[in-house]
Amino acid sequence: MEKKENKDNFAITPRGLKLMLAGIIVMAAGFILMMGGGVKDPQVFNYDMFDFRRLVAAPIVIVAGVVIEIVAIMRKEGQEK
């Protein structure tokens, strides 16, 4: 018995690829938000290291990017709303 292959049935659709790209961009934005806060003199304490942007906003943005990636991978084409 011959097995018929359907080449049009890919695991990741073009819309899924766009969502994956969006997730990567969102995660990169989160890592960019987390950058900075260093000082040149190790004897001086810098309180900018512990601001809202680095401790709260950046991790939330990174987790949002991971959620977008999970949705892009797990979403099926027939699940249109």
The per-residue pLDDT for range 13-59, each reduced to its tens digit, is: 888 899 999 999 999 999 999 987 777 888 888 787 888 999 999 99
pLDDT at 7: 57
Structure tokens at 80: 């249109």
Query: What is d(CA 77, CA 16) in angstroms, rounded to the nearest whole number?
Result: 9
Provide the pLDDT for residue 80.
55
Average pLDDT value for the chain: 84
CB-based contact 39:77 (threshold 8 Å): no
**Is residue 68 over pLDDT 90?**
yes
The structure tokens listed for 2 are 């011959």
Predicted model pTM:
0.76
Cα–Cα distance, 77 to 8 (Å, whole number):
12
Mapped onto helix, strand or coil, the DSSP state of residue 71 is helix
Whether the CB-CB separation of 69 and 24 falls below 8 Å is answered with yes
Q: Is the predicted pLDDT of residue 79 greater than 60, yes or no?
A: no
